[in-house]
Structure 1
Amino acid sequence: MTTNNYQLKSGVFGGTLLSTVFNISLHDVVFTAVMAVIGAVISFFVSYILRKLFADNS
């Protein structure tokens, strides 16, 4: 039974991958990319502001 373990894992992985690839639209990819950019920009500015607020001025 352990010899088929790799076949089972690859089958589950391949089936999951193929089923999600065909269900993702271009709109979903663009939305995810835009949200990632917005999150990165906000994270950068928040860390920049916090660094300026709590910087040791000595």
Structure 2
Amino acid sequence: MSDHQIASGTKAGTVGGTLLSVAINLDSSDILRTIILATVGAVVSFSISVLLKWMVKAFKRNRDPS
């Protein structure tokens, strides 16, 4: 049985090289755009969640005969 283990130094080198190659190819405008889109997505997601929760409460309140 052969044991295929990768040394931790090789893993760190691979991850570090990958991250550096990605970082070199990113523009600051891409990072800013990503931050803005993530913020807008989070705000919309939260708003929709609050709206749906409010709608469910209102629907249950209207259907309750007591």
TM range, normalised to the smaller chain?
0.7 to 0.9
How many residues get paired? 57
Compute the TM-score of the two structures, normalised by the length of structure 2: 0.74
Structure 1: 5+ residue runs without aligned partners?
none
User: CA RMSD, aligned part only?
Assistant: 1.8
Instruction: Measure how far apart 1:38 and its partner are.
Output: 0.8
Structure 2: 5+ residue runs without aligned partners?
none
Superposed CA offset, 1:5-45 (max 9, x none): 11210110111011111111101101101101110111111
Q: Of residues 9, 23, 26 in structure 2, which corresponds to 1:24?
A: 26
Which residue is 1:12 aligned to?
14
